[in-house]
């Protein structure tokens, strides 16, 4: 890790600390995430919610997910058990390959189509929702 930090010191102003460098990189990532027009949920391989990002901060589902970070998605939202999302989550987890599908949702009188993409990584599965 120290080699990476040393190699990148030219990216920051002279005299800046490693903390300054990492804070700068975190801010850059936050800017990129804020420009994403979709929701992102990172789940570990046990189904626990690690991270949530959505540009729709008024969305009720997003507000609920912010309150349940580090809790199990399937236990917290049992309505999601035995759905396409759970089926494709398991498929992505087992095969370690990306999965894409289209989902139609009717919730509280609102109808939405979602393109859902699951991308398995080493320690988690990122789930993207495009509205």
24-57 pLDDT, tens per residue?
777 776 666 665 657 788 899 999 988 877 766 4
Query: CATH code for 41-130?
Result: 3.30.450.20
Domain boundary assignment for the chain: 1-35, 41-130
d(CA 114, CA 131): 5
Phi, psi of 47 (to 5 degrees): 90, 10
Q: Does residue 66 register a pLDDT over 80?
A: no
Residues 6+ away with beta carbon under 8 Å from 73: 41, 43, 47, 48, 49, 80
This prediction has a pTM of 0.66
């Amino acid at each position: 890790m120290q080699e990476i930090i040393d190699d990148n010191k030219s990216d920051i102003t002279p005299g800046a600390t490693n903390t300054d460098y990492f804070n700068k990189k975190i801010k850059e990532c936050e800017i990129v995430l804020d420009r994403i027009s979709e929701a992102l949920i990172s789940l570990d391989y046990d189904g626990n919610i690690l991270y949530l990002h959505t540009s729709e901060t008024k969305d009720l589902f997003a507000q609920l997910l912010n309150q349940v970070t580090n809790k199990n998605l399937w236990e917290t939202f049992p309505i999601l058990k035995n759905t396409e999302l759970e089926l494709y989550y398991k498929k992505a987890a087992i095969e370690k390959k990306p999965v894409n599908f289209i989902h139609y949702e009717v919730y509280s009188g609102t109808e939405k189509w979602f393109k859902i993409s699951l991308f398995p990584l080493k320690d988690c599965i990122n789930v993207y929702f495009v509205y």
